[in-house]
Structure 1
């Protein structure tokens, strides 16, 4: 067995990340596939496609330590307008109700606003995963709160803590102050306040090698602290488990926490969470148009199992809605404790 200390992995190399995860499943912790087999739940199968999650590019104005996309200002991968048009074609000819736009910072794609406008013409609900600081990054983004409101967009934003020190340690110097300003700007146009159509949801990711606490209790604490300190209101808090991939995998390896963290995930495996994992009703679209079961599989370059529908140009809803889902060791992250998805706990 290769030692993790000498395994030559780079975060940009999905094959090396998979080598670590597969080595874990063979030699250390129980394989996720084997766990499902023991429950009679393998293959894990989709039960429809309700959400199209689209990564419109890996470019971002931040370099967060826990980022599973390995996003940053130097990333050049950007979804073209041609692939956006393929997304629109899929949406126009399907009953998919929700479009989840993510990145990087999705707003940095030069065609982001055009894409949003065209999606709304199809009467779809749009979620934008906004990192908040992009709103303050440049004058051309200052009107994003008004743009979001105009198109009834649900805003989902990461805020690791309601304290400056912890947030900046995880996401970079000055991020907390800019995030607070951005939240106040969103509140000013009605987000998270009286208008129930203007949903503002926050995301909590643990800063270290541990699982998130109770989502319900954490949400109550966030709401009290943010309102008392800054007058900020929001709708929901999503507690999301960090996946052992990309930058977070690098952190686990460099700090010697990989084995302990995987052990925590494996020991916290909850068979009831398997039924509600997000891959069962979601298709993830890469910036280049290729299809995946989830955003995490996308970063590991694990395409959907349906060999004839690997790209948007071959999208077939009936085939994808009944596909077998590709799994690996990182899937323990979605099934630990109360479970984890892009919408927080799956059992809450």
Structure 2
């Protein structure tokens, strides 16, 4: 599979995705706009509007779109061809300065394959030196790639939590999303991580991530975790700490899949009907700040991919939109207690038990 960007696809442009999400099909030339799901209206009806961010618990940093894989459900449209979109040393240093002054307890590193960024190790070692918890959102197969043989040992030495995508415990379903052979490479990586203590000791947590293969909501997280643990232990002698279930967001390559299969409207109706106010109250954007590879700021990783910047300050003019726009302490003051930018895609995080980078909300 090629990325949307490599194919020159219209949906490679976040503006085209937003047109679909707002009710206008991508590339439509007429002025007719069908009704789009009203997320702000759902919040208002639940007494949760306006949604706002408060404390900063997690600094989530997308270090680039470069990846050794091109997964069918990827909301980043990451792949081997996205080499130019990779965080610079200068931006990485500002990220570390912001982390230090913010007091955020967690640095959450994502991509692409974050390990492929040349400054990944510095981000990890400095953050750990500051006493912060560090998460590596790993696709597992990168740990088996040439040139990354020492990465598992490095992660273990630093005490980094690995949060790894494994969309199913069977090869057919996993490979359908991630490519032929991805499942067995992932199993080999998991066994290697187990040998280092990941998933078998409290100091080295190994979290797996499930997302549905089809246009449906994830099953109950606790029940699926038990199934995963049984099947992976019995079939492959693999252990892990916990499982996150994450709903597929209707953006980027998954949006393209929904449109190509004629299931977009059905999926959005399913997400909208399952809106859960309790889940909406606990969405990750309320305690997370998302930093893109170029330093631009968003409320969450999904808004980042849609090029949705932070909202302006009410009555106070423009809010910093990039970590290079202001000194870290000044920037931190400006981004706290901000209104969260929302849209119809947000139904993906608030359907059923809710969904986010830390799995089910409820």
Provide the TM-score with structure 1 as the length reference: 0.94
Q: Contact between 1:11 and 1:70, CA under 8 Å: does it hold in 2?
A: no
Distance 2:181 2:62 in 1: 26
Shift of 1:201: 0.2
Q: Contact between 2:319 and 2:334, CA under 8 Å: does it hold in 1?
A: no
Shift of 1:11: 2.6
Q: Please list every run of 5 or more consecutive structure 1 residues that lacks an aligned counterpart in the other structure.
A: 1-7
Distance 1:337 1:39 in 2: 15
Q: Contact between 1:48 and 1:322, CA under 8 Å: does it hold in 2?
A: yes
Distance 2:138 2:120 in 1: 12
Shift of 1:40: 2.8
Shift of 1:309: 1.7
Shift of 1:319: 2.7
1:301 is the counterpart of 2:307: yes
Alignment match, 1:343 = 358
The RMSD of aligned alpha carbons is 1.5
Alignment match, 1:158 = 165
Superposed, 1:1-348 pairs within 5 Å as 10-23=10-23, 27-76=34-83, 77-138=85-146, 140-193=147-200, 195-306=201-312, 307-313=318-324, 314=326, 315=328, 316-347=331-362
Distance 2:102 2:72 in 1: 37
Q: Contact between 1:66 and 1:248, CA under 8 Å: does it hold in 2?
A: yes
Kindly report structure 1 stretches of 4+ aligned residues shifted beyond 6 Å: none
Q: Please list every run of 5 or more consecutive structure 2 residues that lacks an aligned counterpart in the other structure.
A: 1-7, 26-32, 313-317
Compared CA separation, residues 330 and 9, structure 1 to 2 (3 A)? farther
Q: Secondary structure at the match of 1:93?
A: helix
Q: Contact between 1:277 and 1:346, CA under 8 Å: does it hold in 2?
A: yes
Q: Contact between 1:69 and 1:299, CA under 8 Å: does it hold in 2?
A: yes
Shift of 1:317: 2.0
Q: Secondary structure at the match of 1:48?
A: coil
Provide the TM-score with structure 2 as the length reference: 0.91
Distance 1:32 1:308 in 2: 23
Q: Secondary structure at the match of 1:128?
A: strand
Q: Secondary structure at the match of 1:45?
A: coil
Alignment match, 1:5 = none
Distance 2:247 2:238 in 1: 25
Shift of 1:19: 0.5
Q: Contact between 2:258 and 2:264, CA under 8 Å: does it hold in 1?
A: yes
Q: What is the aligned residue count?
A: 338
Alignment match, 1:3 = none
Q: Contact between 2:48 and 2:281, CA under 8 Å: does it hold in 1?
A: no
Distance 2:256 2:197 in 1: 39
Shift of 1:123: 1.3
Cα deviation, 1:258-299, whole Å, max 9, x if unaligned, reads 000000000000011111100000000000001000000000
Cα deviation, 1:110-145, whole Å, max 9, x if unaligned, reads 12112211222211110000100001111x211222
Q: Secondary structure at the match of 2:153?
A: helix
Distance 1:40 1:346 in 2: 19
Distance 1:45 1:96 in 2: 17
Q: Secondary structure at the match of 1:27?
A: coil
Compared CA separation, residues 285 and 100, structure 1 to 2 (3 A)? same
Shift of 1:43: 1.5
| Worse overlay, 105-114 or 61-70 | 105-114
